[in-house]
Amino acid sequence: MPTCLWACNGVLAHVWLVRASRYGEILKTHILGCPCVMLASPEAARFVLVTQAHLFKPTYPRSKERMIGPSALFFHQGDYHLRLRKLVQGPLGPDALRALVPDVEAAVCSTLASWDGNVASTFHAMKRLSFDVGIVTIFGGRLDERRKAELRQNYSIVEKGYNSFPNGFPGTLYYKAIQARRRLHGVLSDIMRERRARGEPGSDLLGCLMQSRAGDDGALLTDGQIADNVIGVLFAAQDTTASVLTWIVKYLHDHPKLLEAVRTEQAAIRTANDGGRLPLTWAQTRSMALTHRVILESLRMASIISFTFREAVADVEYKGFLIPKGWKVMPLFRNIHHNPDYFQDPQKFDPSRFKVSPRPNTFMPFGNGVHACPGNELAKLEMLVLIHHLVTGYRCGAPPHRFAIYSLLVLVDQSSRWAPAAATPLDPSSQLPDSAYTYSYCYMLHAPVRIDRAINLWGHSLLRWHNT
């Protein structure tokens, strides 16, 4: 996750802890110069996101709307939003996901194979996996490698500029991102034009959007509306899923007994699949009870979607407090997920807590209400398939060497004589200030030919995996 988002989460958590002790679960503050009401109770979250959702509209900076596209469904509410959401949910429903299992499994296996002999960021590797799964979901298996490379290259530039200062001066990240966004639109328009020329819009998400109508006038969605929603789906599918996948790897490493229990559950499925020679099935992904609880607990602990912004469209009264029209409203999911009133010993990683369903509106890892993430089941499928192949194909052991993590680069500790096959030792003549070093371990995946695969998890504690 971008550093600025983690910093924002930390600041907001600190603001809440300090002020909530004084003022209770409802308080007002200013964020980025805007008056804002912060809410951290299940009842308040339900009020804003479900029962009175029509009084609170989604709010995003104009620069971000421009980057993704103003017609993307999560910028809207009302009839347009409901119709677009229904269109998107179709290709993400159980029937469609059942058919996607082989594609997700192929993407997972390709991701694991891509680590051979490389030093890479776990998060970035997971982002690549999420992007590949998103591409399959949107375009089916019909997109050639050239088009996929164009989409990946331009989307990467858009992503880098998404959280940058919106300065349109040539050469800035924001300027480059806007140019890449226009190229993305062009690539998507070309793909749609080719499909129309063949007379085969397709049954994937893009095909559904191309054949659908979003207004009472019966007009088909324009290419611009389709492109905005395709880019929106890619955006929603990337960082959040990749972040959770990365945290899951960390949590499994930190709890060896739990890891062994998950491995036992997954080994039984692998044995039923003739030692992994047969593909996973949808029914098997539904039978991974312990693994599913690990995912739920990871979602609670990490709380990747820590909060959401809404804006009051009218004066709203809640529990005797007036929320003026135009004020920002901020339900804090992370604070609810870490509240001991709802989750006993909330700082403890304990998947067994999900043997019993949590109280309503206390667990909202994908949001809540009409704007909840429509792709949450696809994300869970990705997580289940990745865990299956990781824990059945590799075992974990203590790493013998340390790495220095600096500016998201993995540098070999100068005191060490050992380095993975593809790592470049730190140049002794290139000295960094002592304060620049943050020592950590690196994830190592060992293939049968003993090629090292190193994965940097931002700077958190890392581990070593051996091929089994």
CA angle at 404 for the pair 401 and 406, rounded to the nearest 5°: 160
Residue showing tokens 């020329």: 197
d(CA 273, CA 280) in angstroms, rounded, equals 7
Please classify residue 119 by burial: count the beta carbons closer than 10 Å to its beta carbon, then call 0-12 exposed, 13-18 middle and 19+ buried: buried
Beta-ladder partners of 396: 465
Q: How far apart are the C-alpha atoms of 442 and 402, rounded to whole Å?
A: 7
Torsion of CA 102, 104, 110, 111, to 10 degrees: -160
442 is in an annotated binding site: no
Residues 6+ away with beta carbon under 8 Å from 59? 309, 310, 311, 328
Q: Which two tokens stand for residue 392?
A: 């059945």
- Cβ density class 157-176: b for 16+ within 10 Å, e for less: bbbebbbbebeeeeeebbbb
Distance CA 3, CA 10 (A): 11
Return binding residues for heme: 373
Return binding residues: 373
